[in-house]
Chain A
């Protein structure tokens, strides 16, 4: 028997019992919708998580902390040398923290109160920092070359006053920010190491050269906001000087962090492993993301499972319909056997019928799922516009149907149909022509 003839016979049967066919197909539609919508919610969740992660930090960056109770212990120049050997690193910089108790950066009577970060100045560009004014340093820069963060102008304190000595960066009614005390690009700034309070010696002041200011970017660490970036070796030198002048015991050799920028996300887990093997603790958005991903996968599995249950019910529906159909058609099946239809053709026709129910249900289910998905997304958009919605609706979609899911679910529902048809088809195949035609 020709394939085409089997198909047309199967469809004639489905059409002949169209009410039942439609009802059975509807079961599959509901099952398919349940799976697709559930999975699409999972994909939506994943997407918003990923977007959230990206806004929180660079996935290719690894931050290394020292081991031991004092977290900076161990991150000295030899550690830096060790870490520089990692082949997949595109850039590497130590971060040396220096605060305003240690050094004073002044502009007339105004004093800087933010953090000073000692970094490898020539790596900033590779780490993705961008200049708002001026430019990032290239290879030749001096110790006294610095970069300001975007908000640093508001971190200057008027030392002549006891109170109200800051300008807060709060916009007025017209949305304009108040003018800060200093102009980062035009004013002159000096730096001096703080002396003990009882010291009579005079502060030696160094003139600083401002290379520029950095663009605000909270996904970077250290974030270029209310701070100064300078060369790490110079920062270390300043600390050393301070320790000597103030008779502070302790070493100034240890960096607070060493930050690595990797060539791609893929090499991050491997590099993290190597860093752990070297005995350092590290943190990366990538490993965070892996954790979240694991949890998301569980959530998705649960959602998919819920959908699968309804498809299972639909599968039982298909089996039931086909078995019923066989009872009704026992005599018919006997007749076509007597007329020379071979058994595997009979089986194939039943499988086709069951498969067609699955296919039709899957196809209709996809259409309806798209509708449901669009509805959910518009609902989420409304909610996020009115301020609610939480992490599911950060302006994005809560339900995403990828292309592969369309083909996947059609193939899956067809397969489910065929599987549900196996038992009835085998039964139809085994019907004895003789008993069938003796039956009235």
Chain B
């Protein structure tokens, strides 16, 4: 069953009188539990596509359906409430709140939902242990390395058990070794919790971790392939 499907998405930016077509007609569907990578060079429209799927940006044309609901015409408030329940995010620059500890950062999306502090702390502790940061819970972002911060970011995306997790260049700010570690962690977490993961990257190395790779170029889909030998799969079986 498809958790998300987009149809005939088009996005045009107007800069003065000039038109920039960021996305030509793109359609794709992602099934529940799939780990999917959107691969393309810089400026190819990957981020635009991801932002449209996450409701941060409106498409010029086309529809977005998540979990059977057409969310294309949702307003900002509806999207916020929808994201609380259904969508997790991992950012390139981690974006943890500097005023909070790792534990508080992870628990934050649950706080937005109005969950009790006791329950959300328990869930956040569990998530931090899953990303192997059980000994860093009370550290603040400035007291952690980039890799550790991104692991906190992963825990934060998974903690609310959303139906979809988006990651835009999650390893973009990390060295290649740490990047690989983070990718392995992310992929194994997604398998463990049976989450649908959509990763945007320009790096073909990263794409090797995904079970499906969608290549886009100049705003158009140029290929959509299954990768039966995705890295990290062996560890699970």
Does B137 sit within 8 A of A, measured CB to CB? no
Residues of B within 8 A of A337 (CB): 80
- Bound Cα distance from A343 to B89, whole angstroms: 18
Assess the A5–B111 pair: CB atoms within 8 A.
yes
Which B77-106 residues sit within 8 Å CB-CB of chain A?
A: 77, 80-81, 83-85, 87, 89, 91, 93, 95, 97-100
Does B56 sit within 8 A of A, measured CB to CB? yes
Does B226 sit within 8 A of A, measured CB to CB? no
B104 to chain A, nearest CB (A): 8
With A341-B80, A342-B77, A343-B80 already in contact, the answer to whether A336 and B112 are too (CB < 8 A) is yes
Does B154 sit within 8 A of A, measured CB to CB? no
- Bound Cα distance from A5 to B104, whole angstroms: 11
Assess the A1–B89 pair: CB atoms within 8 A.
no
With A16-B98, A340-B80 already in contact, the answer to whether A433 and B56 are too (CB < 8 A) is yes
Assess the B99–A2 pair: CB atoms within 8 A.
no
With CB as the reference atom, state the residue of chain A lying closest to B115. A2
- Bound Cα distance from A1 to B89, whole angstroms: 19
Residues of A within 8 A of B91 (CB): 335, 437
A interface residues, how many (CB within 8 angstroms): 25
Interface size class of B (residues with CB under 8 A): 20 to 34
- Bound Cα distance from A13 to B91, whole angstroms: 22
A133 to chain B, nearest CB (A): 80
With A335-B91, A434-B57, A437-B56 already in contact, the answer to whether A342 and B99 are too (CB < 8 A) is no
With CB as the reference atom, state the residue of chain A lying closest to B51. A434
- Bound Cα distance from A335 to B153, whole angstroms: 12
With A13-B99, A335-B95, A340-B112 already in contact, the answer to whether A5 and B80 are too (CB < 8 A) is no
Binding site for B on A (CB under 8 A): 1-2, 4-5, 9, 12-13, 15-16, 331-332, 335-343, 345, 433-434, 437, 440
Cross-chain contact of B54 among A1, A15, A338, A343 (Cβ < 8 A): A338
With CB as the reference atom, state the residue of chain B lying closest to A430. B76
With CB as the reference atom, state the residue of chain A lying closest to B57. A434
Does B139 sit within 8 A of A, measured CB to CB? no
Task: Give me 4 other A-B pairs in contact (C-beta within 8 A), A2-B111, A338-B83, A440-B93 excluded.
Answer: A1-B113, A2-B114, A12-B99, A340-B83
With CB as the reference atom, state the residue of chain A lying closest to B54. A338
With CB as the reference atom, state the residue of chain A lying closest to B89. A338
B88 to chain A, nearest CB (A): 8
A434 to chain B, nearest CB (A): 5
Residues of B within 8 A of A345 (CB): 112
Residues of A within 8 A of B57 (CB): 434
- Bound Cα distance from A433 to B56, whole angstroms: 7
- Bound Cα distance from A337 to B95, whole angstroms: 12
Residues of A within 8 A of B80 (CB): 337, 340-343
Residues of A within 8 A of B81 (CB): 340, 342
A20 to chain B, nearest CB (A): 14
Assess the A342–B97 pair: CB atoms within 8 A.
no
With CB as the reference atom, state the residue of chain B lying closest to A440. B93
Assess the A332–B97 pair: CB atoms within 8 A.
yes
Nearest first, the 10 A-B pairs at minimum CB distance are A340-B84, A12-B99, A16-B99, A340-B83, A434-B56, A342-B80, A5-B111, A335-B95, A340-B112, A341-B112
11 pairs across A/B with beta carbons < 8 Å? A9-B99, A332-B98, A336-B97, A337-B80, A338-B56, A339-B156, A340-B80, A340-B84, A340-B113, A342-B81, A343-B80
Bits for B54-90, please: 1 = Cβ < 8 Å to A, else 0.
1011000000000000000000110011011101010
With CB as the reference atom, state the residue of chain B lying closest to A15. B99
Residues of B within 8 A of A16 (CB): 98-99
Which B133-171 residues sit within 8 Å CB-CB of chain A?
A: 156
Bits for B110-143, please: 1 = Cβ < 8 Å to A, else 0.
0111101100000000000000000000000000
With CB as the reference atom, state the residue of chain B lying closest to A2. B114
- Bound Cα distance from A396 to B173, whole angstroms: 71
B156 to chain A, nearest CB (A): 8
A18 to chain B, nearest CB (A): 11
Residues of B within 8 A of A331 (CB): 95
Assess the A1–B112 pair: CB atoms within 8 A.
yes
A47 to chain B, nearest CB (A): 48
With A1-B111, A2-B114 already in contact, the answer to whether A339 and B100 are too (CB < 8 A) is no
Does B109 sit within 8 A of A, measured CB to CB? yes
- Bound Cα distance from A70 to B63, whole angstroms: 100
A426 to chain B, nearest CB (A): 14
- Bound Cα distance from A343 to B113, whole angstroms: 13
With CB as the reference atom, state the residue of chain A lying closest to B76. A343
With A12-B100, A15-B99, A332-B97 already in contact, the answer to whether A339 and B108 are too (CB < 8 A) is yes
Assess the A339–B99 pair: CB atoms within 8 A.
no
